[in-house]
Amino acid sequence: MDFIIDLVKAQKQLSPEEIEDLKGKRDEFTIPKKKLKIYYEMPLGDGARSTLYKLGFIFGKSPLAISTNLIETQHFQDCKVAVKVPTVFGSDESEQLFREIDTMKKIGYHKNVICMLGVCVLDEKPVVAFELADKDLLEYVQTLKETRTENSYFSSKIFFSILWQIAKGMEFIASKLIVHRDLAARNILLTDSFNAKISDFGLSCSIDNSALNEEYLPKKLSVKWLSIEALVSKVFSEKSDVWAFGVLMFEVFSFGQIPYPDLGLKDLMEYLTAGNRLGCPQAATEEIYEIMMECWKGDPEGRPTFETLANVFHEILEKATKSDDYESLMDE
């Protein structure tokens, strides 16, 4: 798909002949038009630039199943899928979409990353087929907030399991030399069995990409999840994603509270450079808050890696399974 990005960046207007030529080009992730069905009457949500349909169907083997040839991907055939369809397709939108496609091709398959099953060209626009998920993490924790008065406690082991899975997925992404740059609860999808899957790679970049040290922050980046070095110096790395993981932890243990609700960009930069950080959320123990603070160290080198975070949450999860210490955190 890189050739399409190059065309868009060059602001080249595609003729009908060129469009047909693009349709004729095939790589290992292309879905033939006749093998993808979209149920347009079942939209899941409308974004500013695309619509996600919660039900589509791939006939035969998906390109992911064919290209990886892994046992874990072979069920992605004759299967239901989610489909992202662009509604706006200018140069900015196309670059973001193809960045996502290119990143997910590099990632391939991991059980804690939402799978891109293939790409199909419909009406001169690329649509992307993903594996299905049940809900996003932000929606889930906000639902818990609304219903918590009906229960005396909640199982925080679910939280620990989700965070462990996210750390494992981010460890894999980092191993591919990819920086996500938009890690937040809204971009973590959950299956009905609470398998966590990292999604939305439209703002990602490679470690060897010049975007890691930019003259200005892309307007689409969510500044309240950005690390202090990204805000001040426009520098991105795995450790800037670790900072965002700390903010994601805050979202989880505050049941979806917006971070820094009263701070704009300038005030946020001053707040953080002065050494201030988010407070301890209501459902977090001191141990959990200490992990957040480790993720928010001013020096990126002082923050843990995702490998370390995965090990830490694995140990916490094992400890929580053996005791009831974490089973009544909802009591006020």
- For residue 174, the domain's CATH number is 1.10.510.10
In a domain, 331, yes or no: no
177 dihedral zone (left: phi>0; alpha: psi -120 to 50; beta): left
DSSP state of 186: G
197 and 311 together in one domain: yes
3-state secondary structure of 152: coil
pLDDT (0 to 100) of residue 20: 52
| Same domain flag for 190 and 61 | no
Tens of pLDDT, residues 191-204: 988 999 999 998 89
Query: Both 102 and 230 in a single domain?
Result: no
What pLDDT, on the 0 to 100 scale, is given for residue 122?
Answer: 83
pLDDT of res. 209: 55
- What are the start-end ranges of the H helices in 108-227? 137-147, 156-175
pLDDT grade, residue 124 (50/70/90)?
confident
Q: Tell me how far apart the alpha carbons of residues 23 and 32 are, in angstroms, rounded to a whole number.
A: 9
Residue 326 has pLDDT above 80, yes or no: no
Q: What is the pLDDT of residues 199-218, one digit of tens each?
A: 999 889 888 654 555 655 66
Say what the pLDDT of residue 83 is.
Answer: 93
Q: Is the dihedral of CA 69, 71, 75, 78 positive or negative?
A: positive
Q: Which domain holds residue 112?
A: 2-130
Residue 326 placed within a domain: no
pLDDT by residue (tens digit) across 52-77?
A: 888 899 999 999 999 888 999 999 99
Active site residues: 182
End-to-end CA distance of the chain: 53
pLDDT score of 216: 57
Angle made by CA atoms 137, 138, 139, in degrees to the nearest 5: 90
Look over the chain and give the mean of its residue pLDDT values, rounded to a whole number. Answer: 84
Q: What integer pLDDT is reported at residue 24 of this predicted model?
A: 46
Start-end of H helices in 176-305: 228-233, 238-253, 265-273, 286-295
pLDDT at 282 over 90: no
Domain end among 73, 100, 130 = 130
Structure tokens at 188: 């973590």
**Of 73-77, 87-91, 166-170, 189-193, the least confident:** 87-91
User: Of the candidates 107, 130, 153, which is a domain's last residue?
Assistant: 130
Cα separations in angstroms, 279 against 137, 175, 177, 283, 289: 21, 31, 31, 12, 8
Is residue 87 domain-shared with residue 161, that is, in the same domain? no
Q: Are residues 86 and 218 in the same domain?
A: no
User: Does residue 330 lie within any of the structural domains?
Assistant: no
**Mean pLDDT score, 226-254:** 95
Q: Specify the range with the lowest mean pLDDT, choosing from 32-41, 82-91, 134-143, 291-300.
A: 82-91
DSSP 51: E
Q: Looking at residue 219, what is its pLDDT?
A: 67
Q: Look at residue 257 and tell me if it is in a domain.
A: yes
pLDDT of residue 134: 86
Using one digit for the tens of pLDDT, what is the confidence trace for 108-121?
A: 999 999 999 999 98
Q: In terms of DSSP bridges, do strands 205-206 and 178-179 run parallel, antiparallel, or are they unpaired?
A: antiparallel
Answer whether residue 171 is part of any domain.
yes
CB 161 within 8 A of CB 210: no
